Structure 1
Amino acid sequence: MRERDVEAVAQLRLAAFFDGTARTLEDDIAGLRKLLAGDGFETSLVARIGDIPVGTCLLVRRELELAHELTPWLAGLAVAPKHQHQGIGTALVRATEARAASAGVVEFYLYTWQARDFYAALGWMTVETFEQDCAPMLLMSRRPSL
């Protein structure tokens, strides 16, 4: 992700994850800029068509409050609706896995419910099912390889 991508990526993330919540565009922009200014391990990968960001996926150290001892995480996979079902999500997950492997990650995690079949098809394994905000959630893991 480049600085010029931050607002577009934040808009993708807001639409995908935070609609109807108190999280603002400014909140997400601040979080993404903090990620950009970090030590380089945490990253936001961006898929572009031409020069337009159409998808994103994060590699972060902390994600799920209930499982802080687990690290790192694949998080925030989002693809603009009109570009879904074109392989962009798969490419972003694979690129994030490659980034994790190149950083020496042995195992990393994600949580999802709606996309559980998508991730399972990509080789992610179920660790446990739990409840978050009165809804089912699935913790998954993967050992990346180069």
Structure 2
Amino acid sequence: MRPIIQAMAESDVEAIARLRLEAFFEGTGRTLEEDTAGLRGLIAGDGFEAAFVARDRGQPIGSCLLVRDEISSPHDLTPWLAGLVVEETHRGSGVGTALVKTIEAHAASAGIGTLYLYTWQARGFYEALGWTAIEAFEQGGEPMLLMSKSLP
């Protein structure tokens, strides 16, 4: 499947927020309302930050963000590739790769030289896309990895 990648629209916000809550915020107390408000603020922002959605037959199946600040970041770096999420049934089909490449292209077109991200479980995925591990550390008692990628 070749996903269609587009800028996130208001009509995508609730579906993507539900995906994000399940993937990133289960057990944290973050609510659907908080995440939808955050996404709405991002897509209504100044244009530097960006949110992209992958679609299959018109339905949102994944998303990825370009943000200035990462949530609870112990590093004073910017900007960040954040919030990559793909519906479980579409994982392994190139959707995540397409979303990451879209964020990278958007950032490069904005003159950004280096992007950062946090991961632990997806290290191999990002390394295969040219990202480099910078620092392993613990955050909230969990292992975390800071990665970067220089953009053309």
Map 1:47-62 to 2 at 5 A.
47-62=54-69
Structure 1 equivalent of residue 41 of structure 2: 34
Q: Decide which of 66, 69, 74 is 1:66's aligned counterpart.
A: 74
Structure 2 equivalent of residue 76 of structure 1: 83
Dislocated runs of 4+, deviation >4 Å = none
**Alpha-carbon distance in 2 for matches of 1:131, 1:17:** 17
| Other structure's SS at 2:60 match | strand
Structure 1 equivalent of residue 108 of structure 2: 101
Instruction: Tell me which amino acid in the other structure corresponds to 1:100.
Output: A
Unaligned stretches of 5+ in structure 2? 1-7
- How far off its partner does 1:65 sit? 2.1
Structure 2 equivalent of residue 132 of structure 1: 139
Structure 2 equivalent of residue 142 of structure 1: 149
| Other structure's SS at 1:66 match | coil
Q: Decide which of 13, 17, 20 is 1:10's aligned counterpart.
A: 17
**Alpha-carbon distance in 2 for matches of 1:48, 1:96:** 15
**Alpha-carbon distance in 2 for matches of 1:117, 1:135:** 18
Q: State the superposition RMSD in angstroms.
A: 0.8
Structure 1 equivalent of residue 5 of structure 2: none
Instruction: Tell me which amino acid in the other structure corresponds to 2:56.
Output: I
TM-score with structure 2 setting the length: 0.92
- How far off its partner does 1:144 sit? 1.8
In the TM superposition, what whole-angstrom CA distance separates every residue of 1:6-43 from its partner, at most 9, and x where no partner exists? 10110111111011110010000000011011101101
**Alpha-carbon distance in 1 for matches of 2:134, 2:39:** 28
